[in-house]
Chain A
Amino acid sequence: MLETRKLCKSFGAIDVTKSVSIKLERGERRVILGPNGAGKTTLFNQLVGELRPDSGEIHLAGEDVTALPVAARTRRGLSRSYQKNTLFDGLTVEENLSLAAAVATGHESSMWVDSLTRPDVREIVQEVANQVNLMPYLHAKVSAVSYGVRRQLEVGVALATRPLVLLMDEPTSGVGPEMSKGFHDLLNNLPRDLTLLIIEHDMDLAFDVADTITVLNYGEVVFDGEPEAARGSSLLKEIYLGSWEDA
C-alpha cells in the first residue's frame, strides 16, 4: 500500500533519513519508534510531500508519488495528522471536518453548491465525529475547546479525507493517560482495511495497536518486525534505555 525505497534526506552535513526502505501492506498497522531526533517526523514530511527526499522513491498503492505535491498525494489516499495541531482555529469543529470531507467528495471548488450542506459531506462528518468522539463539540469553535479535544479533531480531520493510508504523528502527544486510553479505543473503531502508520512515544499503546514495529535511530531503520520480537531486542533496550524498563 505504502512503500519507500532507499529514501535519503540530509540537512547540510546531517543525514536525517538514511536509506529508509519500509513496506506497508493494506490494512497493516505499523508504529514507528525512535528517540527524539531519530528523523521520524522528517520521514513523515517526505511521505506526505512537505519535504522532497534527496534520493529514493515513495510508492502509494503501486504508483510512484515521489515527485507529486502534497495535495495530489492526499487525493490519492494519503492523509496525515500533525504532532503540533494544525487546525482551522477560527472555525467550528464541524466546519473543520466538513472542509476535509468537501475535498474528499470533490465539492471544494464548486462555485454554486454549498459544500457544508451536501448530504455526502454531512454523512462523512457524522461518521468521523462518532469515530473520534467529537459529537458533543461539533458547534464549538476550535479555539474554545480543550487541548485533548483538539488532538481528537486533529485525527478526525485527517480521517475525513477518506484516506487509504493514514499517517499519525504522535496522536497522544501532550495528553494524559486517560486520553491515551481513549485513543486506543479510537484505533479499534477504525476500519481494519485502513493502513496506519503511527509515530508514538507511549510504549504500551505502541505494542498494543501495532501489527509491526519500525525503529528509527539517527535516521536509520535499526529494527523492523513483529512487536514480540521488538520486546526482546537488546538493541532497542540500548536506544530506549530508561523508558524501556517501564514498558
Chain B
Amino acid sequence: MTPALLTAGPLALDASFWVLQGLNALQLSMLLFLLSVGLTVIFGLMHFVNLAHGSLYAMGAYVAASAAGLMGYWAGVLLAPLAVAAFGVLLYWGLIRRMRRSGPMAQVLVTFGLIFVMLDLTRIVWGDLALAAPMPELLSGRLTILGLEYPIYRLVIIVLGGLIYGGLYWVLSRTQIGAMIRAGVDNDAMASCLGINVEQLFFLVFCVGCALAGLAGAVAAPLLSVTPEMGLSILIPTLIVIVIGGLGSLKGAIAGSLIFGFVQTFGAVLAPQLASVLIYALLAAVLVIKPVGLFPARG
C-alpha cells in the first residue's frame, strides 16, 4: 500500500493525518533511540549484551515519578539519569566487569537473571500498583503546527532525541574521546596497544548508556503508567531496533529507531490486522538479507 494510492483513493486522507502520524512515529523513534543507543554502543565497544537495559529504563521511570512527587518534575528528570548511572556503577563493578571474559551466552543469561531480580526489586520498593508521573505545567499544553494541534510534551521528546543524537554524533566524530571510542569499537586489542585505557572507556560508556536509559525512562514516565513490567515490554522493541540497525553503531541506532517507529505507527493505523506481525517480519527479512543488520560498526 503506497501513500499515493491511499490519498488518491476514496479513503483520501488529508495532510494533517500524515503530519500527526509522522510526529507520533518520530516521538516513538526518539524514545527508542535514547534506549537503544546506550545498548548498542556498549555492545559495540564491550561485546556485551545487556538484556537488563530495559530494566534500567523502568528504574529511571520509577525514580523520576517518585522524585517528581516529592520535588517536582524537573528534579525527577535530573535525578533519574544520575540514579540509574549510579546503579550502573554498582552493576559494572559487581557483575559486568567479571563477565567481560565470558562468552555472549553467559552474558545474555546473567543479564536475563538481572531482569528477574530488578523486576522484583522494583516491586519490593515501589509496590505492584502502577505509578502516575505528573507532567510539568510548562510542557502540558498543545502547539499548533501546520494547522494541527500537537502536545508540546511529545514535541519536546522529539527535540530531545534529536539533540542527544547530535551531541553523541559530535562527541564520537569530533572529540578525542570519541576517536578513542571508535578505535575501541573497531579493534579493542589494537586500541589498548595504542595506549588507550580501554577498560576505563568501557566504564565511561557503560555509565553514559545507563544514564541515557534512565533519561528515557524519566521522559517516558508522564506518557505511560509506570509499572514493574515496563522494562520487559520495552526490551524487545529496543533489541529489534539495534539488530535492524546493526550492533555497535550510532547510525544503526538512529536508523533502526526510525524504521521501528514509522513501521509500528503507520502499520497500526494503515494495516491494523498486520501491524503486530509487520515489524517482526521486517526484522526477519533484514536478518535474512543482511545477517548483521543495516549499519554494523564493523564491515
Direct contact of A and B (CB under 8 A): no
